[in-house]
Amino acid sequence: MKYTQLGRTGLKVSRLVLGTMNFGPQTDEADSHAIMDAALDAGINFFDTANVYGWGENKGRTERIIGDWFAKGGERRDKVVLATKVYGNMAPDGDGAWPNHDKLSALNIRRAVDASLKRLRTDHIDVYQFHHVDRDTPFEEIWQAIDVLVQQGKILYAGSSNFPGYKIAQANEIAARRGGTIGLVSEQCLYNLAERRAEMEVIPAAQDYGLGVIPWSPLHGGLLGGVIRKEVQGGRRASGRAADTLADPAARAQIQSYEDLLDKHGLEPGEVALAWLLTRPGVTGPIVGPRTAGQLESAVRAVDLELSEDVLTGLDEVFPGPGPSPEAFAW
């Protein structure tokens, strides 16, 4: 495994991030624990989760699965850089309309971090991430709450997720004016070959402010994982958003061109999609969310995959990026 520093911090993290959203809803606890053990064996030390994972009546279940894994000992917790998120509504079922159980008020941040620590069975969270922009809470209040948590030793760093470029700038400018916290150190954004809008402003803002970029959905819901090839070979068929996308003839032709390019070079689509992200400026490492140990093994191979200039050029031709702003939409 290769490692890099998370943005401008001194924290060293693996170039792949283990995403845990499938733990509980799609992968049972025993298999989830096996995947986390395999991730550590492969050198992956950066694990990402969120308080709402498990979803619906099971929200919080994913954090509990991770907490039970930490409780097995073997220095599991010490080896992991643990990231979780706050924003989603965690009110008990039937109380969803009750106020102050979601978003980024100081009250909810305090409540949410203590609840996550309990589920995760740990005394601190390494990277505490804001899962979404809260348009109702000023950053002065958010940073006050974060300062307290850092002083209490409950969190070490703060990060964002799904923030536009101007909110990254606003958050860090206010943090700098207040003093105390060092501001955001990472941004977790939707970014992959088929969805490159983050290149316009989000990634440049992250680079300027020293945030590590952590792409989620690196295979774009499975579309970049060889979905057409699998259909032809009688394997798992596309479903959900991927199936809807492939129903569009133009989109299907684009994905077919992508797979044809990689077939020509003898490369696996899913591994290439991850390896491409690892070549992108500012990217710390993509989040991989394996449902099985086999999927994890494929993702790990991408770290050592070197893409030739021919392949990189071909990928840009199939999936042209928008370019940086303002040139992407102006002169």
Tens-digit pLDDT profile for residues 50-87: 999 999 999 999 999 999 999 999 999 999 999 999 99
Nearest Cα to 116, choosing from 173, 196, 52? 52
Please report whether residue 79 resides in a domain: yes
Q: Which residues contact 85 (CB under 8 A, 6 or more apart)?
A: 49, 50, 51, 52, 128, 129, 130, 131, 161
User: What is the per-residue pLDDT for 94?
Assistant: 62
CB 159 within 8 A of CB 216: no
Catalytic annotation, residues = 53
138 inside domain: yes
pLDDT at residue 243, rounded to an integer: 83
Quote the pLDDT of residue 36: 98
Exposed e or buried b per residue across 319-331, where buried means at least 16 C-beta atoms within 10 angstroms of its C-beta: bebeeeeeeeeee
- What CATH number is given to the structural domain containing 28? 3.20.20.100
The answer to whether 175 and 139 have CB atoms below 8 angstroms apart is yes
**Number of domains within the chain:** 1
Indicate whether 242 belongs to any domain: no
Task: Let me know if residue 279 belongs to a domain.
Answer: yes
Residue 114 forms part of a structural domain: yes
Query: What per-residue confidence (pLDDT) applies to 106?
Result: 98
Residue 324 is which amino acid? P
Is the overall model pTM greater than 0.75, yes or no?
yes
Rg (CA), the chain: 20
Which domain covers residue 110, as residue numbers? Answer: 3-221+271-307
Reduce the DSSP state of residue 27 to 3 states and report it.
Answer: strand
Give domain status of residue 243, yes or no: no
pLDDT at residue 75, as a whole number: 97
Strand, coil or helix: 185: strand
pLDDT (tens digit, 0 to 9) for every residue of the chain, 331 residues total?
999 999 999 999 999 999 999 999 999 999 999 999 999 999 999 999 999 999 999 999 999 999 999 999 999 999 999 999 999 999 987 665 678 999 999 999 999 999 999 999 999 999 999 999 999 999 999 999 999 999 999 999 999 999 999 999 999 999 999 998 899 999 999 999 999 999 999 999 999 999 999 999 999 999 999 999 988 887 667 777 788 899 999 999 999 999 999 999 999 999 999 999 999 999 999 999 999 888 999 999 999 999 999 999 999 999 999 998 999 999 9
CA pair distance 104, 86, nearest whole angstrom: 7
Is 326 contained in some domain?
no
**Residue 233 lies inside a defined structural domain of this protein:** no
DSSP annotation string for 127-180: EEEE-S--TTS-HHHHHHHHHHHHHHTSEEEEEEES--HHHHHHHHHHHHHH-S
d(CA 324, CA 277): 17
